[in-house]
Amino acid sequence: MTKYTLDINGKKVQVEAEPDTPMLWVIRDYAGLKGTKFGCGVGLCGACTVHLNGQPVRSCSTPVSDIKKNDKITTIEGISDNLDHVIQQAWIEEQVPQCGYCQSGQIMSAVALLKAIPQPTDDDIDTYMSGNICRCGTYNRMRKAIHRAAAMQKGK
């Protein structure tokens, strides 16, 4: 067991874990943030997507020992306090989620997309979002919601 001090959503979290423990389980079961989900365990579905220093990563395939001292981790719980991120608002407007299980990961990918490309094209959306599976098939609504969020952001 090794002690780690992690910066998750701007808070310091101390955990004691085996170095090969994936961040997914550290976030969920050590830091108690359940919004990040387990889907495939091997980085194929994107349900576990979080941001590492602003970049989307698959937490199920990122061992806690890979996290460096000043790294900042952001999870779904950390993107806004009151559902006021434009992606969340657009997701509600378009009524995107169905079962909702993949949506934390989808939203983390979409947030990263808008940060990188504030006015994304459909091709940009394909590139950024194709790593995230939604078994309910909410893809068309996500695409619409991303365009809506981009427009909202522009209007701000």
Contact residues for another protein, defined by CB under 8 A: 1, 17-18, 20-22, 25, 28-30, 32-42, 44-45, 47, 75-77, 80, 83, 88, 91-92, 95-104, 107, 125-126, 129-130, 132-143
Smallest distance from another protein to CB 22, Å:
7
Smallest distance from another protein to CB 122, Å:
10
Q: How many other CB atoms are there within 10 angstroms of residue 16's CB atom?
A: 9
C-alpha span between 76 and 91 (Å, rounded): 13
Smallest distance from another protein to CB 96, Å:
8
**Sheet-wide strand order for 11-17:** 11-17, 2-8, 72-74, 49-52, 55-58
C-alpha distances (whole Å) from 54 to each of 71, 83, 91 are 10, 19, 20
Measured from the CB atom, the residue of 83 and 151 that comes closer to another protein is 83
Smallest distance from another protein to CB 132, Å:
8
Measured from the CB atom, the residue of 56 and 97 that comes closer to another protein is 97
Measured from the CB atom, the residue of 9 and 70 that comes closer to another protein is 9
Measured from the CB atom, the residue of 7 and 38 that comes closer to another protein is 38
Burial class (CB in 10 A: 0-12, 13-18, 19+), 121: exposed
C-alpha distances (whole Å) from 51 to each of 36, 38, 55, 90 are 11, 16, 5, 20
